[in-house]
Amino acid sequence: MIVDPITATASALNTPIKQLSYASIVLRYITTAATTPWLLNVNMGAPTCGAGTKGFSANIWFSQLVFGPTRGLLIAYAMPASAGKAKVYTAEVTVSVWGAVNATMVIWNYVAMDSAERNPENLMRSLFNIVPGQLCRFLATPDMQEPLYGIPILVEVLLIEVGYGSSVAVAVNQIGT
């Protein structure tokens, strides 16, 4: 909850901090590993393509692994620091695009589920992570900060903190039930 707001702010200021970028990527791998479907549900089964099936969650997870931290790692290593603003835009806009796809997949899967299997808390926990951490990362692009008085990055940092905190609250609530 500390690294993401700092890396977003650094991007917004067009002054990315290399070590924090790598820390953010490592933390995304750790959080992705912590949400491995087979660890959370022993009855997950194999990945399947049909939305609404248990295995579709595994497809979402594999996609997150590839288009989340692995995408960030490729950008960090493939684009030289001399790319400057282009590297910042590539990182922030591609994670926003992935966030839109990820949110669509999660919602599509939820809607396609049998109504008896739907868990609104799981949906909210997922969206609390996806919307601020991925979908809205375009708010951390440098050129919109000055004309909008830095409001976009303030909104993004607030969304990150509220979203991640809400996700934790939902998870803690689920543990108690």
Does position 102 have pLDDT exceeding 70, yes or no?
yes
Q: What is the DSSP-derived secondary structure letter of residue 103?
A: H
pTM over 0.85: yes
Q: Quote the number of domains for the chain.
A: 1
Does position 173 have pLDDT exceeding 90, yes or no?
no
Of these ranges, 1-10, 120-129, 140-149, 157-166, the one predicted with the greatest mean pLDDT is: 140-149
Domain span including residue 13: 3-175
